[in-house]
Amino acid sequence: MVSNPYRFRLNDLSVPFVGAPMAGGPSTPALAAAVTAAGGLGFLAAGNRSVTGLRADVKEVRTLTDGAFGVNLFVPQAANTAAPGTAVDPAVHLSVGAYREALRDTARRYGVELPDTDPADDDGWAAKLELLEELRVPVVSFTFGLPAAPVLERLAAVGSTTSVTVTSVPEAEAAVRAGADLLTVQGPAAGGHRGTHRAEDVPGQEPLAELVAAVRAAVDVPIVAGGGIASAAEADTARSAGADAVQIGTLLLRTHEAGTSAAYREALGSGRYTETAVTRAFSGRLARGVRNEFIDRFTDIAPAAYPQVNQLTKPIRAAAAEAGDPEAIALWAGPSFASAREVPAAEVVRDLVRGSSGT
């Protein structure tokens, strides 16, 4: 592949800060543009977003900033080279059916019907790739799996820099072999979904700085470190371990520009909740969120079945959000969620990089 000197590079940033893509509403064009305007790299979340909506989001970002930004895609099972194939395991099918039965009382309580599930749903994968090729987005990142090398080559050919989320050294090595330009190394304290390359995998508990150092020793591409970073000191530690930039999500959830729902915002700042937990209860993939009634009730029985579990719980989550009830909302967040403040995103960027080495 011929190198393109005009493609985005992490050292193009004024500050080593990446705004984490947060699907489901928090990552708005305004938030992405605000992070970019503050000197970092803002992101849009394409996961569970329609192609039409994604096109509008990219267009809006470009009206708000001339700077670089990224779009994050979920890698579906059929396109995931780390776990190829679309055949449904009969045992998984049975476990999804059992989970449906377990959810029925909760669905009735919120006045919703549980939908049919479709394990082959690929979230508009092909159409979204074509759109991003057309729009020539500066950075395209991937999570939930490893896309094939030709996918990364297609994006590179139109000038996009590609990144893959990894949670281990073997995943990092595989991503680099596939042609990823950057890696987002995700540690165990990350809020939201863990980016393991297979839904059934349980990621390690190696602290972020140790994981970054191990990945840095194994591969020679730029690294973004993410997972539980909530202070300039923690950002500095990650960068000292070998990261070129840090990725922040939780601290952006209550910013003025975020699209976080009112119930979600209130829960983060209410003081009623004190801890997070890792669960498959909402989506079938492991994810860290504020511990609420739904997590307590369903974590032990939720199967490792994405996207089926996500499809089942979607109407419950939507009804709970509309009712302002945080007990059945996926309140994705890292352990320091109480530190999230209602301030402009630029203030979060400034505080995280203030005094950081290299700034």
What strand order describes the sheet that includes 182-186? 17-19, 245-248, 223-226, 182-186, 161-166, 139-143, 69-74, 42-45
> Cα(274)–Cα(271) distance, rounded to whole angstroms?
7
Helix extents (H) in 110-148: 125-135
CA 219 to chain centre: 22
> How does pLDDT run along the chain (359 residues), one tens digit per residue?
444 556 999 999 999 999 999 999 999 999 999 999 999 999 999 999 999 999 999 999 999 999 999 999 999 999 999 986 656 678 888 999 999 999 999 999 999 999 999 999 999 999 999 999 999 999 999 999 999 999 999 999 999 999 999 999 999 999 999 999 999 999 999 999 999 999 999 999 999 999 999 999 999 999 999 999 999 999 999 999 999 999 999 999 999 999 999 999 999 999 999 999 999 999 999 999 999 999 999 999 999 999 999 999 999 999 999 999 999 999 999 999 999 999 999 999 999 987 554 44
Q: Which residues contact 314 (CB under 8 A, 6 or more apart)?
A: 115
pLDDT of residue 354: 76
- Encode 41-70 in three state secondary structure: EEEEECCCCCHHHHHHHHHHHHHHCCCCEE
What phi and psi, each to the nearest 5 degrees, are found at residue 34? -65, -40
Written as six digits, the tokens of 295 are 């997590």
Q: Which residues contact 19 (CB under 8 A, 6 or more apart)?
A: 27, 31, 32, 35, 40, 41, 42, 43, 247, 248, 249, 252, 345
Alpha-carbon distances, residue 345 vs 34, 248, 253 (angstroms) = 6, 11, 9
pLDDT of residue 3: 47
> Cα(39)–Cα(352) distance, rounded to whole angstroms?
12
pLDDT of residue 37: 98
Alpha-carbon distances, residue 326 vs 59, 245, 293, 300, 329 (angstroms) = 32, 32, 9, 20, 5
Written as six digits, the tokens of 87 are 């055949």
Dihedral sign (CA 260, 266, 269, 272): negative
CA 286 to chain centre: 12
One-letter amino acid identity for 317? R
Which strand (E) or helix (H) includes residue 161? strand 161-166
> Cα(85)–Cα(174) distance, rounded to whole angstroms?
18
Partner residues linked to 70 by β-bridges: 43, 139
Alpha-carbon distances, residue 272 vs 114, 133, 235, 269, 290 (angstroms) = 29, 45, 27, 8, 10
Contact (CB, 8 A) for 158 and 129: no
- Rounded to two decimals, what is the model's pTM? 0.95
Q: What's the alpha-carbon Rg for the chain, to the nearest Å?
A: 19
- Encode 272-328 in three state secondary structure: CCCCEEEECCCCCCCEEEECCHHHHHHCCCCCCCCCHHHHHHHHHHHHHHHHCCHHH
Contact (CB, 8 A) for 139 and 70: yes
Please state which CATH class domain 10-353 belongs to.
Answer: alpha beta
One-letter amino acid identity for 14? S
